[in-house]
Chain A
């Protein structure tokens, strides 16, 4: 009798422990999110350059908008024909450029000279220091591109440069264009980050699963309307989500977007 009571008591304790652990797990896993409306971005207009800054950059400073985990810069740039950024330095930063329309000519202190075209991605690990310039080589046609900077997971690396074609034609799938692994799809960087492009028809839903625990996802909507985690975003809005291992994305109409999975602690 005593043994039976004792076993029942132990079992109840186990059930209680499981219940409280479950509650704690649920609390720990409660997804958090933030929307950065396109209209709330910082702006710079230098005539030849129009730039929208999702996070504090150059003359735009908002202490509430510094970074999303390791994602520090998301600039939506427009450069008029024949113009560009003269030679300037970088260090200790992973710099990714993705042309959306037009071409961008790159020249750097490592001797690289290349033109990045729409449908390509360029990555530069600035490490101990690099100088480069970026120009729009077409005198008549503007270039629109995303400039993205991530904090590296390793300081003072030897600078490196890479450029690859990306699959921007596949529809209704998430296409990986960047990872931390040199043998994986897309370019690689010194950070536990994964980027994917989405080109979804209206009504398509996909679940994105995080590659690494503790990572968050930042979705920048290039065009269309998406529903993410039950919230709607519009063209050029940004949506950050963390404390979750997956993200539900639904296209409310034909939509193109960039999903950036990045460490929230680094």
Chain B
């Protein structure tokens, strides 16, 4: 099953997003609470998408973007808004350019 990494500093929200992603039955969710953890997760897992949640500043976003460009250019990165509620599915489908499973 494809893996999605969620990065954010608000632990309860990151865990909520992970729970919702796994509930879909289509993806496995991995979590990271800072950019160092995110880079380790990229090395450890074969990721299909990275969702950047709340609390990650621009400098860290750029650091991650540079790392991905150099090592994993095919992994799409998208900003997550809303804290795991109504927008999550659409953000994933849009980023991966797929349609929901029926």
Contact = CB atoms under 8 A, between A and B. Distances in A.
A66 B82 contact: no
Query: Contact size class for B?
Result: 20 to 34
A156 B83 CA distance: 12
Interface residues of A, number: 26
Interface in A136-186: 149, 151, 155-156
Nearest to A53: B86
Nearest to A151: B81
B47 to A, nearest CB: 21
B26 to A, nearest CB: 13
Contacts, number: 82
B84 A89 contact: yes
Most buried by A among B54, B55, B84: B54
Contacts of A234: none
A47 interface: no
Contact of B89 (A59, A93, A128): A59
Chain A residues touching B, majority SS: loop
Chain B residues touching A, majority SS: loop
B83 A90 contact: yes
Contacts of B82: 90-93, 126, 149
Contacts of A72: 81, 87
Nearest to A75: B86
Given A58-B89, A129-B83, 9 more contacts: A58-B85, A61-B89, A66-B90, A89-B13, A92-B81, A126-B82, A128-B55, A129-B13, A155-B79
Interface of A: 56-59, 61, 63, 66, 72-73, 75, 88-93, 126-131, 149, 151, 155-156
23 contacts: A61-B99, A61-B100, A63-B93, A72-B81, A72-B87, A73-B86, A73-B87, A75-B86, A89-B85, A90-B82, A91-B54, A92-B54, A92-B80, A93-B82, A93-B83, A126-B82, A127-B54, A129-B54, A129-B83, A130-B83, A149-B82, A155-B54, A156-B56
